[in-house]
Structure 1
Amino acid sequence: MRPCLDLALRLDRFRRCRSGTVIVILGLLLPLLAMGSVGVAEITEVMLAKAKLQGNVDAAALQGAGEFGVDQSSATQERTRLYADAMAEPLRLRWTITSTATVDAASRAVTVSQTAHRASFFRSLLPPGGWNLAATATAVRTARKPLCVLGAQGSGPLGIGASTIALQGSSVITAGDCLVQSNADLNAGAGTALWAGEARAAGSASGPIRPAPVTDAPSMPDPFAAMRIDTPLSLCDTSINIGMGTTYLKPGVHCAAIAVLGSANLVLEPGEHYFIGPALSISGNSTVTGTDVVLILKTAAAAQITGNAVLNLEGRKSGPYAGFVLITDRTFISDVEISTTNARKLVGTIYLPNASLTVRGTNTKIADQSPWTVVVARTIRTMGSANLVINANYNSSTIPVPAGVGPAKDQPVRLAQ
C-alpha cells in the first residue's frame, strides 16, 4: 500500500504545480493579448485614416485641375488647398492634418498632398514618434470649358459691385456644356436657375447656380476688343419699304428707321447689314430670316424684337465678321431686347461690347434650336420666364467660331498618379 500512497501524493503535487504554472502563464499572456487586440484596432483606424487622406487629395486634385482650365492664377492653388483642408475636417478629432497644393502651369497639372500625425502607444514609442501618414495626388486637364457667355462689364459706370449677369423672375440660362463668366457679380434670383458647364464671377455669386460658382475669379478680357467695327462710307439706303409681303434686303448700310410689323417677312440676303438708323423694331407676327448674315447696329436708340416675331438668323461664314450674327458698334450704349416667343435660331456670336442684352418673355426659349450660340455683352439680363439656351455643338454647324470663345470642348479631368 505504501508505494501506492506515495504515487498518489506525487500526482497531487504535480497537479497543483501545473495549475500554478498555467495561472502564471495566463497572467503573462493576457496583457499581451489585450495589447494585440488594441493594436489591431489601432492599425485598422490608421488604415482607414490613410484611405480617407487619399480620397481627400484625389478629390481636391480633380477639383483644382478643373478650375485651372479657366483660372491659371495663384488663387486656384489656394482654393484647392482650402478644399482639401475642408475635406479633412472629420479626421482632426484625432489627427493633426496639413494640406498643400501646387500648380504646374506647363503641364496643366495640380498636385495636392496631405500629411497626418497623432500619438501612438506608450507615449509614441510604438511606432516611435507616433503615427505619420501621407497621401499625394496629381490631376491634369488638357482643355477648359469653352467660353459661351461673358458679362464683360467689370468697372466703370456699373462698378465692380454690380451684377453684370442677372437672372430675374423665373427666368433660366441653360449653358450646360460651356463657361458662363461675369466680370462683376453673378446674381440669380430665388425663382431662377442658371445651369452651366462652369460658372465664374469676378465678384460675388448668389442664387440657384449649378455647379457651384467660383467667386473672386480673375476678370476675363473682352476676346474681341481688338476687332475693328467700321461702317462703310458707301451710300446708304433711306427708302426701305417693308410691306405685308416678303421684302428682300441686300447687304449694305441701312439708314432709315426700320420697323417690321404685322405679318411682314424680311429676308436678309447674305453679307453685312449695317443698321445706322434711329431705330430697329421687329414685332407682331413678322418674320426676319437670313443665312450667312451679320446685323451691325450703330446709332439706333434701341433694338427690339418683340411680340410673336420670328427671328431665324445664321451668322457669317467668311469675311471680317465670320462667326458673328449680331454686333453693336462700340458707340452703341443702349439695350438690345429680345422678348419674342420665336427667336429660336441664332447661330453665331452676339457681340455687344458696350450695350446690354435683355431677354424676357413668358415660357419662351431663345436660341434653343441653334447648334451653338455665344453671347459677349456689357451686361446680360433675363426676365419673366424666358429661357436663354446656349448650345455648344460647334462641330454641327458650318458657321466658324471666332477665336477667343468656343472650342476646344472640355476633356475629362484625370488623375495622373
Structure 2
Amino acid sequence: MGGRLTAAIGRLRRDQRGGALVMLGVALPALMMAAGVVIDYGVLSEQRTAFQTVADGSALAAAREFRLANATPTGVQSAAEKFATTQLKALNQTGTIAAAVDVKKMTVTVEVTNVARTNIMHMFGSDNVTISARATARVLGTAAICVIGLETSKKETIHLEKDAKLEAPECAVYSNSTSRDGLKAMHNSQLRARFICSAGGSYKDKHDSFQPSPTLDCPVLADPLASRPPPSIGGCSANDLKITSTTMLSPGTYCGGVRIGKGAVVTLNPGVYVFKDGPLDVSGGATLKGANVGIYLNGKGAVLRFDADTKIDLTAPQNGVMAGILFFEDRSSPVNQKHEILSNDAKVLLGTLYFPQGELNIGASKPVAAESAYTIVVARRFTLSAGPTMVLNAKYSSTNIPVPEGVGPGSTAAHLAR
C-alpha cells in the first residue's frame, strides 16, 4: 500500500512540473515581448531626446539669422538645416531634417525625423518605429535692445505720464512685468520704438500711445548685465563733499555723497568714480561734465539727482570694468531708490544707464540724451514724469564707446515657442 502511494505522488509531481513548463511556454513570448518593449523604449526615448536637442538648438540658431541685414527666408532655412546636420553628426545620430521659415511671424520651425528598426520588438511584428522631434523659435523683433524694464510682477515697470515722450526709433523696448499696467502710457504720452514688447498679456493705453502696438506675452528677459563685475571700492577720497566753484575731480571713492551747486563747473577726469552711501547731486545752475567716466553708486542714498537748471555732459569709458557703462547701481542697493534726471541741458549721456534695483525717472522739459550716439537703459523701473522727452539713439558705429554685450546691436532675442 505504501509503495503504491509513493508512486502516485511521484507521478503527480511529474505532472506538476510538466504543467509549469506548459505555462512557461505560453507566457515566455509575452515576457520576451515586455522585455523587448522596455529595452526598445529606452533606446528610442534616448534618440528622441537627442533629436529634440538638435531641433531646439537649430531653430534658435537659425532664428538669430533674422537679425542680419541681408537675411532671406532661404538663407535662414539653410542655416537651420546646416546646424541640425552638424549637431546630428556630433551626437552620432541620423535623421531627416525639415526646416520651415515664416517671415511674417518671424519664426523658424525645425523637425528631425527617423524611422528606426527595433532591436527586439521586430521579432513580434513591430519592425519600425517613427521617431520625431519638433521645435519652433520666434524672434522678438529685429532691432537692437535699448530699454529693459527688469521688474517682473508689479505695475508701471515702464511708465509714461502726461505729455512724456520716449523716442527709440531704431531700437527695441522691453517690459518684463506681467502686470496689466506693467507697460503704461497715459494722458497724451507716447512711446515710439522699432519694436515694443511686454511680458504681460495686456498693456495700459488710453490714447493710442504706442507705435507700433506692443507685442504681448513676450518671454521675460534676464538681466543682460548680471554677470558684469562691479568696480572695486577703495578708501574714501573725500567725505560729504560740497563743491561751489570750478573744480576738476579725479577717479576715486567719494563717501557720503557729492553735492555740486552755486553755478560750479565740475570736470571729471577719465576713470571710475564710486559714490558711496550718498548722492551725486547737481543743482543751482551747476555743470557736470566728463569724457570716458564711469559712475558707480553704492549703498543707501547713493542716487543721482540732476536738477532742471543744470548742464550734464557725460560719456562712458572705452575700456576697463565699466566699459560702455555710464551709471552702474550696485546690485545690493535698496530696492526702488529713485534716480532723477531733471536737467533741461542733458544732451549727452553716452553709454548704458544700469539701475538693476532702482527707478530711473526722467523729468526734464527739454530732450534728454538727444545728442548721444547711443543711450541704453536697463533698470528695475523706467519712468518719464509729466512733460519730458528722452531720445535713445542707436548710432553705435559712430562712437568708440563700446556697447555692453547683451544690449545694443546683436541683442535680438530669439526664444523657443513650441
Structure 2 length normalisation: TM-score?
0.62
Match of 1:238 in 2: 239
Q: Is the 8 A contact 2:292 2:316 kept in 1?
A: yes
Counterpart-to-counterpart distance in 2, 1:142 and 1:259: 43
Give 1:178's match in structure 2, choosing from 162, 171, 175: 171
Matches within 5 A, 1:401-416: 401-408=403-410
Q: Matched residue pairs, number? A: 279
CA distance in 2: counterparts of 1:191 and 1:288, whole angstroms? 32
Aligned to 1:340: 343
Q: What is the identity, as a one-letter code, of the residue corresponding to 2:375?
A: T
Structure 1 pair 67–175 and aligned structure 2 pair: CA distance change class (3 A) = farther
Q: Deviations over 1:45-68 (max 9, x none)?
A: xxxxxxxxxxxxxxxxxxxx8998
Aligned to 2:379: 377
Q: Deviations over 1:217-272 (max 9, x none)?
A: 1111100111222442334322745232x111100101143111121011111000
Q: Mean alpha-carbon deviation: is it higher for 200-209 or for 317-326?
A: 200-209
Match of 1:399 in 2: 401
Give, as a single letter, the amino acid of the residue that structure 1 aligns with 2:397.
N
Mapped partners of 2:294, 2:187: distance in 1: 36
SS in 2 for 1:307: coil
Give the 3-state SS of the residue equivalent to 1:399 in structure 2: coil
1:349 aligned residue: 352
Q: Distance in 1 between matches of 2:342 and 2:385?
A: 9
> Which residue pairs with 1:191 in the alignment?
188
Matches within 5 A, 1:89-128: 110=108
Q: 1:66 to 1:404 in 2, by over 3 A?
A: closer
Task: Output the CA distance in 2 between the equivalents of 1:194 and 1:377.
Answer: 17
What SS class does the counterpart of residue 159 from structure 2 fall into? strand
Does the 8 Å contact 1:250/1:269 carry over to 2? yes
Provide the residue aligned with 2:287 in structure 1: 287
- Could you tell me the TM-score, scaled by structure 1's length? 0.62
Letter in 1 for 2:380: R
Give yes or no for contact 2:236–2:254 (8 Å, CA) kept in 1. Answer: no
2:149 is aligned, of 136, 145, 151, to: 151
CA distance in 2, matches of 1:174, 1:346: 15
**1:369-398: per-residue Cα shift (whole Å, max 9, x none)?**
101000000001101110011000000011
Task: Please identify, of 184-193 and 391-400, the stretch whose mean Cα deviation from structure 2 is larger.
Answer: 184-193
Shift in CA distance, 329/231, structure 1 to aligned 2, threshold 3 Å:
same
Question: SS in structure 1 opposite 2:397?
Answer: helix
CA spacing shift, 1:190–1:238, aligned 2, 3 Å: closer
Identical pairs, percent: 32
Q: For residues 318 and 369 of structure 1, what CA distance do their matches in structure 2 show?
A: 22
Contact 2:260 2:283 in 1 (8 A): yes
1:278: how far off?
Answer: 2.3
- Separation in structure 2 between the aligned mates of residue 378 and residue 146 of structure 1, nearest angstrom: 19
* Residue type at the aligned position of 1:251: P
Structure 1 CA distance for aligned equivalents of residues 185 and 159 of structure 2: 6
Is the partner of 1:400 in helix, strand or coil?
Answer: coil
**Superposition pairs of residues 161-176 of structure 1, within 5 angstroms:** 162-176=155-169
SS of the residue corresponding to residue 367 of structure 1 reads coil
Instruction: Please say if residues 163 and 186 of structure 1, whose CA atoms lie closer than 8 Å, have aligned partners that are also in contact.
Output: yes
Question: Residue type of the partner of 1:151?
Answer: G
The structure that has the greater radius of gyration is 1
Cα offset, 1:279, TM superposition: 2.5
Match for residue 391 of structure 2 among 389, 392, 406: 389
Q: 1:200 aligns with which of 187, 192, 197?
A: 197
Aligned counterparts, 1:351-370, within 5 A = 351-362=354-365, 364-370=366-372
Question: How far is 1:310 from its partner?
Answer: 0.6
Aligned partners of 2:65 and 2:187: how far apart in 1? Answer: 26
Please, which runs of 5 or more residues in structure 2 have no aligned partner? 1-62, 68-98, 110-137, 413-418
Contact kept, 8 Å, 1:144 with 1:408, in 2: the verdict is no
Q: Is the 8 A contact 1:275 1:300 kept in 2?
A: no
In the superposition, relative to structure 1, how do residues 381 and 239 fare at CA in structure 2: closer, same or farther (>3 Å)?
closer
Q: Is the 8 A contact 1:175 1:195 kept in 2?
A: yes
Where 2:288 maps in the other structure, the secondary structure is: strand
Task: Identify which range, 324-333 or 386-395, moves more after superposition.
Answer: 324-333
Return 5+ residue gaps in structure 1 as ranges: 1-64, 70-100, 112-139, 411-417
RMSD, matched Cα: 2.8
Q: Secondary structure at the match of 1:212?
A: coil
Residue 143 of structure 1 and its aligned partner are, at CA, apart by 8.3
